[in-house]
Chain A
């Protein structure tokens, strides 16, 4: 028919439009695609290896990458000074190489640099010495040397550096001086007396600092008061008494007895008035806000101290600091970094940098080590930033371009371990749901889909043998670096305001016991094979994690108030739930709750505690969270004994983060991403509790002196065995405080196309710390 012909013509026309459209922008580093390689013995396989990846944000820089995926792109082009093995342990003599045993197999590890860590107790200084090979070359052929290392250090230390590395937070000698550009910066401190004196009689500057602090707190309190309306909270009675937010706010914070907020119409005026009442009186604010006058002391001290320090510096005799004293170039291949004090995890940050080419990321003409010029204009990282989207380094692959949602790489012919066997590599953006299909059909060859029951089922269908390892797809499960948990805030969930009392611990244990017993069924239904329940608040991948085979390994919260096991091995699920509920009753009673025998319910809570608690779970408002089933079951169980658990599932996760930030949370669920080192300082040390002036990451507000001691000791030791013992004790204390119920540990999938990838060349025994990209230079296509 004529119409069909017309249609065909149109299609041809259309197809030609596609071709004749404006050309895409020229790529600066366009490499001629069909490049016959120079004399090679074996024919190089030109089939590109395609890896499915989640979406990139194009921050492909060893300095500035923000997402893990961007970081992976960058790391393919980079080589790190620090070499680690399959357990996350450090290979110190990487140039010659070392052997390591994993899972009964011996492996040989090598890297580009030797790292030495020397702690001198007398001077309390740790010296990190990094020595690199002399034959490491960047992908443009240039040799890598200590100048590049120095350059990298200075970029990371620059005051305007906004990337994710925290090198500058370590107490490297001369770092603070350099960043403040004042040679007195490290010495100058504000003594406690000076600070106290300033607080007694605050100067103008201090007053305005304090006033703005007070104002900020009060204003955020207004928002908090408003959030109590329309929601079912503990403050319902108050809300009823004061129908208007401004009045409730005044009720909480008014310090002038003669002031009547009801008489004032306008909310803004009320706020102004209350603000005026306080002025710079932070002590009263502390009392009204946190219960004690010293509540805000750390904040005030920090802020005022900072300004005093600045003033002192400005008026001091300090001179400008041209370099960082503690970072020294010893030879063309050797660099030394001196740090005050010793922390075990520090080596991962200090030695774990990529050796970035100075002639690319910086300006060679601006480098002269002896003249204190380090390759860029100080406090001006624009050259580095301009290269953010195009990384280059000494790694196995060279970045070609990012186009059409694919990152193109070519093998680095100068790679010190030998040119990678697979010449072309592509990282192709793929949706998580299509990764398995992509490998099965042939779009991609390797991928990291998230684990779930459905995914496992799906990938089995591609293999003839219907298993996870077959003729089409080979799948590895790897533990995720991190775990999920339920947290309880000791500051707000306690008896009589004493977070560390036995009663308070029992109160929390009551909840924890019931949460724990429902973990298995919930995680199994949500994740299936893709996750497992863990019993210690630490990622299972860490060398410090207690293993089931260990003697003292216990299931979390499986003991009752008298220390007896709640469960027996013959119990079925329902029996376990009942047993747990009974044990919980025991805990609540011990906490001081009034129990009514006849109804079998609790009728009254002791002072400071309640019969009703709220838990926040970020399930997008739909209950879509692995722990949600746990909470729902717990709520049902606790209702039987008269305790009410309110599940708050906001559609906006910021509700959770804001609660955590302002320390109003009672209980919550979340997940930790762990670091390679099991150091617990950030999260469990009392100084990092909310508002204590530290990292504020200790949302549990656990403050146990024994725990603190253990943490500090383990942190400062290099003895792995010692640390493991210490951490076990620490974990037990955390469980005793019942501030955390460890829930699940996910498994990630790494899948390969058996058909197209030569599985024999894939690095064996992939772990959390040893991904498939390690030894990528050996990977070959079929």
Chain B
């Protein structure tokens, strides 16, 4: 059934991109005020540790993200990239975050690393609790200097674009040495170098000495991504966040990198947070899956649950969009019609309602609440409200 295009609450005749001068000034003033407040808090020196020490709700979890709100204060208004995201990363497990472009998964990971571009971007609300063994901190409140100790050391990140992730003017060896030196100042130069070489070997690069001396532009995309992975692993981080590590690579390399990651996963004891829009990767790697849409978590559960029992219409649509060999004979690829709502002007009802082919009357109400289909399986959809555990067609 085709959806009718319903207008958003604030109907305007002009295109929604137009902001009048008065509005622009008002927005700018508001933004300034809010961000100044946040900045003031952030720029304090000598924040007492008690402010950011906290407790984990479940001691098996390495990372607990609760009700995270990350907003960007832009010239056309407030963009709510992440509005109320909650999930956990248990120790030693791999969590996959799935969603389409713009759903907020990257911003979530950046929030965890406190890498969101300030002053426009701010973590407005929520907690990110991390278990550092010696302490448990709430990352949202940690001062920047402390965070710099954590980054690369306890939490490491692998980015999407291997071609541009390495500094083009420094040699590979130097770039890996740097992160080891930074977090292990007591190590001697030779030790650092040997550790680097060890890491390079670990990621499956044969000619270790030669690569050590090379520049990034002399390596292929796949090699660079391996180096980035080596860099991320070099300090034995507790959590590795991999933000679409294979999206920019071609399929064969993709497979290699995924193999690498899988092997590493077995050998090290880090948790991995794997962000991707590729369900195949999730299927291979993830223990748990979180499905995000328009800045919110619409469904989460174990990989098994998500793949065999996708509940949210969006998740169902995602599964259906996977091209399969010998699937249906229709020839046309399935795609979910419509597009993500305007991030500045989020409506008050289910974000997916206008694109959903299974919408019911209840969907015209407010945003659906969280419904637990099992201990581990959560979905936010009215279809499951009355009959918990039952499915509807």
Contact between chain A and chain B defined by CB under 8 Å = no
- Residues in chain A within 8 A of chain B (CB atoms): none
- Residues in chain B within 8 A of chain A (CB atoms): none
